[in-house]
C-alpha cells in the first residue's frame, strides 16, 4: 500500500489525472467488461503514462456490492493492475458497502474506494429517502468510518447531482469530508444538463467554499452533447481530476470520452495552455498518444460500442482521405497530423467523390498502374457503382476485381491475335 495519496499529490502539483469510468459507469451503457479485460484495459491505460500510470489514472474497477462476480472483477483489477493505475472500488454510503469495497482493493498499491452520497433534494429523496442535508451528514459519517477502517486505502466521495443541489451546502460538506480524510470529492452532473459557463461557475463556487485542501473531480454527462465541453470548462476553473470513459460510454448518452479529453490536453501545447493556463505542465510523464487508437479498438471489440467514421480521434474517418484537394494538400484540411500524434498512416478511401489522382493512388496500392484512358473508364465505373448501389465506399476487394478485368482486357488487346502455322503452309487464328 502507498503511504502517499498520489492523486492528491498530482492534482496539487497541477498535473491532470483521469478518473476512468468505462468499466463502472460504462456498464450503465448496457455494456459488460469481463474481469480479464478490465485488468488488460487498466494496464494498457496506465502504460500510456509509463511508470507514472498511478499518478495519472484512477481506474474505477467496479461496484463490488452488485454481485460476487463484480467483487471478483474489482479484486482482480486491484491486484493484477496495481502499479499501472490507482484502482478504485465504488460503493454506496452504507457500512456493508464500504466493507466490501475496502475488501476488494485491500493490499493493492495506490488503492482507493469511492463512496456515493446524494447531494440534491431530489436524489436524496430517491436514493436514501431523506432530505439533502441529512443525506450529506450521513455521508460525512460514512466517510469518517471508511477512513478509520481504510488501513491506508484512500477514500473518495462522489456527490451525486451536485449541480442541482444547494451549492453552499455542497461546498460545506465537500470541505468537511476533506477534513475527515477524503482524498477527492467528485462533483457529478448526474443528469447531464449543464452548460460550459455555469460549469465553470459551479466548480469555482464549490472550490472557494470548500477550501484549498479539497481536491475536486469533474464527472460530467453528455445528455446535451456537452460532456466534453463541460469537462474542459471544469479544467479551466482549476479542476485537475476529470472523470471520463473510453468511447464516452456511460449512463444514457454517456460522458466525456477518455481519448478526446487526453488528446485535447496533450497533442497541442497551445490548446493545453488555453485550458489549463500558461506555463503549467500537465504531466509527470507525457502521454504516448499513439496508444489511443489501439486501446479504443480493444474497448470497441469488448463492448460492441462501434467506432464510426465520425468518432473523433480514434474513429475510422481519422487519417482517411477520399477527395482530391485533401489528397494533394492534406495538411491544409486537417487540424492535426494523425501520423505524428497517433501513429496513423494516411489511408486513401475510394468513393463516388474520387478524383483521378485518388483513384490512381488506390489502383497503385492494389498493384495496378493505369493509363489515362483506363483511369477515366475506372472512374466512371466507380461513380456509377456508388450511385447505383447507394453506398459511397467501394471496397478494395471489389475495385481490385474490376481492375483485374480492366487490365486483363487491355493486355489481351495489346498482344493481338495468336497465330498458328500448319503443315499445309496456311496460317489460322488460334482463337477462331
Query: Does 424 reside within a domain?
Result: no
pLDDT digits (tens, 9 = 90+) for 56-93: 999 999 999 999 999 999 999 999 999 999 999 999 99
Domain count, the chain: 2
The mean pLDDT value for 268-288 works out to 95
* Cell of residue 270, nine digits: 497551445
- Structural domain harbouring 363: 320-414
Q: Are 324 and 284 in the same domain?
A: no
SS3 274: helix
**Dihedral sign (CA 249, 70, 302, 43):** positive
| pLDDT tier for residue 408 given thresholds of 50, 70 and 90 | confident
Report whether pLDDT(429) > 50. Answer: no
- Answer yes or no: do 200 and 87 share one domain: yes
160: closest CA among 127, 130, 208?
Answer: 127
Coil, strand or helix at 51: helix
Task: Please indicate, yes or no, if residue 372 is contained in any of the structural domains.
Answer: yes
138 and 254 part of one domain: yes
Does 244 fall in a domain? yes
Same domain, 339 and 404: yes
User: Same structural domain for residues 147 and 188?
Assistant: yes
pLDDT exceeds cutoff 90 at 166: yes
Determine the pLDDT at residue 417.
59
pLDDT one-digit tens code per residue, 200-233: 999 999 999 999 999 999 999 999 999 999 999 9
| Residue spans of beta strands (DSSP E) within 183-268 | 185-189, 216-220, 241-244
Q: Mean pLDDT score of the chain, rounded to an integer? A: 93
- CA 266/CA 412 separation, integer angstroms: 56
Per-residue pLDDT, averaged over 232-248, amounts to 98
Rounded Cα–Cα distance for residues 85 and 114 (Å): 15
Same domain? For 24 and 140 the reply is yes
Q: Are 225 and 254 in contact (CB under 8 A)?
A: no
160 close to 188: Cβ distance less than 8 angstroms: yes
111 and 162 housed in the same domain: yes
Domain termination site, one of 278, 303, 328: 303
Candidate from 62-66, 118-122, 346-350, 409-413 with smallest mean pLDDT: 409-413
Claim to verify: residue 259 and residue 147 sit in the same structural domain: yes
Q: How far is 91 from 115, CA to CA, in rounded Å?
A: 5
Q: Is residue 419 assigned to a domain?
A: no
81 and 203 part of one domain = yes
Helices (H), 244-366: 258-266, 269-276, 292-303, 324-328, 338-342, 356-365
Instruction: Specify whether the CB–CB gap between 159 and 186 falls below 8 A.
Output: yes
Mark whether 238 and 371 lie in a shared domain. Answer: no
Q: Which residues contact 407 (CB under 8 A, 6 or more apart)?
A: 368, 370, 374
Burial level of 393, CB count in 10 A (0-12/13-18/19+)? middle
Question: Could you tell me if 274 and 188 lie in one domain?
Answer: yes
Residue 423 lies inside a defined structural domain of this protein: no
Q: Does residue 25 lie in a domain region? A: yes
| Same-domain pairing of 220 and 156 | yes
- Domain with residue 197: its CATH number is 3.20.20.70
- Tell me whether residue 103 is in a domain: yes
Predicted pLDDT of residue 314: 96
Out of 303, 333, 353, a domain closes at: 303
User: What does the buried/exposed string (b/e) look like for 47-70 if buried means 16 or more CB atoms within 10 Å of the residue's CB?
Assistant: bbbeebbbbbbbbbbbbbbeeeeb
Closest by CA to 362, choosing from 324, 336, 330, is 324
Q: pLDDT value at position 430? A: 38
Q: How far apart are CA 161 and CA 278, in angstroms?
A: 32
Q: Hey, is 419 helix, strand or coil?
A: strand
* Predicted pLDDT of residue 419: 52
Give CA separation, 90 vs 105, 167, 305, 322, 377, in Å: 10, 24, 23, 46, 62
Q: What are phi and psi of 109, to 5 degrees?
A: -65, 140
Residue 319 has a pLDDT of 86
Does residue 428 lie in a domain region?
no
Instruction: For residue 231, give the C-alpha cell.
Output: 469537462
Amino acid at each position: 500500500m502507498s503511504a502517499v495519496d498520489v492523486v492528491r499529490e498530482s492534482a496539487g502539483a497541477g498535473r491532470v489525472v483521469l478518473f476512468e469510468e468505462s468499466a463502472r459507469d460504462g456498464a450503465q451503457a448496457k455494456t459488460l467488461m469481463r474481469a480479464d479485460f478490465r485488468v488488460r484495459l487498466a494496464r494498457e491505460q496506465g502504460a500510456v503514462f509509463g511508470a507514472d500510470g498511478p499518478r495519472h489514472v484512477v481506474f474505477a474497477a467496479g461496484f463490488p456490492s452488485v454481485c460476487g462476480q463484480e467483487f471478483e472483477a474489482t479484486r482482480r483489477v486491484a491486484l493484477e493492475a496495481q502499479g499501472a493505475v490507482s484502482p478504485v472500488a465504488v460503493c454506496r454510503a452504507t457500512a456493508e458497502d464500504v466493507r466490501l469495497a475496502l475488501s476488494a482493493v485491500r493490499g493493492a498499491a495506490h488503492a482507493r474506494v469511492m463512496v456515493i452520497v446524494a447531494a440534491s433534494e431530489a436524489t436524496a429523496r430517491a436514493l436514501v429517502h431523506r432530505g439533502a442535508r441529512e443525506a450529506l451528514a450521513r455521508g460525512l459519517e460514512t466517510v469518517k468510518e471508511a477512513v478509520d477502517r481504510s488501513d491506508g486505502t484512500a477514500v473518495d466521495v462522489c456527490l451525486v447531482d451536485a449541480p442541482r443541489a444547494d451549492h453552499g451546502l455542497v461546498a460545506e460538506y465537500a470541505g468537511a469530508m476533506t477534513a475527515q480524510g477524503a482524498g477527492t470529492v467528485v462533483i457529478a452532473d448526474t443528469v447531464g444538463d449543464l452548460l460550459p459557463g455555469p460549469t465553470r461557475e459551479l466548480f469555482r463556487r464549490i472550490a472557494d467554499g470548500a477550501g484549498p485542501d479539497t481536491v475536486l473531480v469533474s464527472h460530467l454527462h453528455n445528455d446535451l452533447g456537452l460532456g466534453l465541453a463541460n469537462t474542459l470548462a471544469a479544467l479551466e476553473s482549476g479542476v485537475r481530476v476529470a472523470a471520463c470513459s473510453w468511447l464516452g460510454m456511460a449512463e444514457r448518452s454517456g460522458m466525456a470520452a477518455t481519448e478526446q479529453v487526453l488528446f485535447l490536453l496533450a497533442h497541442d501545447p497551445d490548446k493545453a495552455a488555453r485550458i489549463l493556463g500558461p506555463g503549467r505542465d500537465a504531466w509527470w510523464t507525457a502521454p504516448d498518444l499513439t496508444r489511443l487508437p489501439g486501446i479504443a479498438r480493444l474497448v470497441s471489440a469488448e463492448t460492441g460500442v462501434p467506432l464510426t467514421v465520425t468518432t473523433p480521434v480514434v474513429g475510422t474517418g481519422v487519417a482517411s482521405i477520399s477527395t482530391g484537394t485533401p489528397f494533394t494538400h492534406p495538411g491544409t484540411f486537417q487540424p492535426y497530423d494523425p501520423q505524428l500524434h497517433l501513429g496513423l498512416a494516411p489511408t486513401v478511401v475510394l468513393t463516388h467523390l474520387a478524383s483521378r489522382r485518388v483513384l490512381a493512388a488506390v489502383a497503385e496500392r492494389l498493384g495496378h498502374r493505369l493509363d489515362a484512358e483506363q483511369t477515366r473508364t475506372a472512374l466512371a465505373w466507380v461513380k456509377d457503382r456508388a450511385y447505383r448501389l447507394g453506398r459511397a465506399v467501394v471496397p478494395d476487394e471489389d475495385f481490385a476485381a474490376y481492375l483485374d478485368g480492366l487490365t486483363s482486357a487491355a493486355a489481351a488487346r495489346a498482344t493481338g491475335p495468336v497465330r498458328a502455322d500448319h503443315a499445309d503452309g496456311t496460317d489460322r487464328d488460334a482463337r477462331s
